[in-house]
Structure 1
Amino acid sequence: MSSSRNHNVRALTEGALLAALTIVLYVADVYTRILVYVVPVPIAILVVRHNLRTGLMAAAVSALGVGLILGPIDSVIVFVRVATLGLTLGVCLAKMLPWPRTIGIATIASLAQVVIDFMLAAALAKLSPSALLARIIDEFTVAGEQAVQIYEKIGMGEASLTLARQSMELMGNWLRLFLPVIVLGTAVLGALIVASIARWVLLRMKQRVVPAPPFAHWQLGWQWIWGLIAGIILLYVGQWMDIESISAVGRNVTMGFTLLYTVQGIAIIWHFFVKRKLPK
């Protein structure tokens, strides 16, 4: 009985401290924009050390605290961030799921967070999601044009200005063509960073965590090649039938698997460096 009571007191104490830390991290991120990947970590740690209920209560307290400081909109945003990625990652780490599966589930949670944030932004702006997306792309284009104007004012040469304009136009076109794979890649990177930070902190706290395979040992199964083949087939079928939606799917699938195999190639090179004990 006494042990259970002590555990509950410890859970409440840690919950209060980590909820306060989440509030501080979010408020600091609003002004610095460098702590976005750290905000979900305290709640994930709390779930690992105690349970999902304690983490959910701390997430709610964090949202209330942020709401008192910054307002209801930020309250919803911080709750979405910690309730999706933080709680999901905490459950995966607590259940000692294999590292690739943990990253996969965390990526889905990160994608859900992005979608909810985008829908919330569209609702606040009183725009449809497609209209908001078009505005974001237009603003990206305008920002590129303003950057070129700044380069021109500081005396950049004509050849360099032409190259800068072409680069900005290319980036805008890539954003339109590969937006789905860009969003997915960002979600994977975000999930990997948050999971790695949470795992590092848990190790420092002497908490048992699932081992993460070294990057040099990372490899894809042979079945993954079918994804690349399917993307190429969809791309050619879409172009042959002149159906842009099929071409867009094929284009993004092909780009996604190309990036994936690029990472695989880097892992192979890294393995060679490690095996030969070459300077990295």
Structure 2
Amino acid sequence: MSSKDQQFHVIHKVPQGHSPYVKAKHAQVVEKDPEAAILLFWKAINAGDRVESALKDMAVVMKQLNRCEEAIEAVNSFRGLCPKQSQESLDNLLIDLYKKFGRVDEQIDLIKRKVRLIYQGEIFNGKPTKTARSHGKKFQVSVQQETSRLLGNLGWAYIKKSNYLTAEVVYRKAQMIDPDANKACNLGFCLIKQGRYDDARRVLEETLRGEVLGSEDIRARNRAAELLMEIKAFEPAESEIADILGLDDDFVTGLELLLNEWAPPRSKRLPIFEEISSFRDQLAC
């Protein structure tokens, strides 16, 4: 093979040769023909040619074409032909496909099964870390990081089912293991949905103060700020509560001044306001 041909394969990340799998990768990467690539990946699987890679690549192409149902069926049908060490990555691919296709219950079941494997010490083939890839770069992932990632996905799945209490519990567990700003925002969202505005505010303000890993991410900071604005929109102002109670502003202001001087630092709101806010929170649930 000439140096020019070798350079072509390196640039396009296409394996060399003339096997069904090589032809499928050429159709996928070079010719940009996904339909032809899928047919050739099928041929590679049937011929036993790099079955694991062919199955994964075919599922990815099907996902890009919004043919997730076919991709799910293919992975479940042929994963038995793949070695044991590839099953974890196939699970991750299935979780992504379930999420894309909206099959939330199956997504939840599979994530729970993967978390149970962690409890049993069977994740990463018993090793404390594994090598992962993202955007062509390799990096090490610990068992703790993988557990937190899976719990984050599980929490999001419960959000999709509007089960905000369970999602909250899952996100809190994830944050205890490996906290980050994105999961903190999702936790704040769950608390808002339950009408627990004070709890949500504390979580989101920690993100804006930079107390959570990843708080420098502008997207996470923007989302935290947006969620805090939602809280302000939902919560009644104390002046509105005073109107409900029939108390004039001067009376409330005077009491607040006294409270600022005498009350414990944990709360500077009148107890009656705390009680009404709590009652409103219960109504909002």
Query: If the length of structure 1 is used for normalisation, what is the TM-score?
Result: 0.27
Query: If the length of structure 2 is used for normalisation, what is the TM-score?
Result: 0.27
More strand by share: 2
When Rg is computed on C-alpha atoms for both structures, the one with the higher figure is: 2
More helix by share: 1
Answer 1 or 2: higher relative contact order, Cα 8 Å, separation at least 6: 1
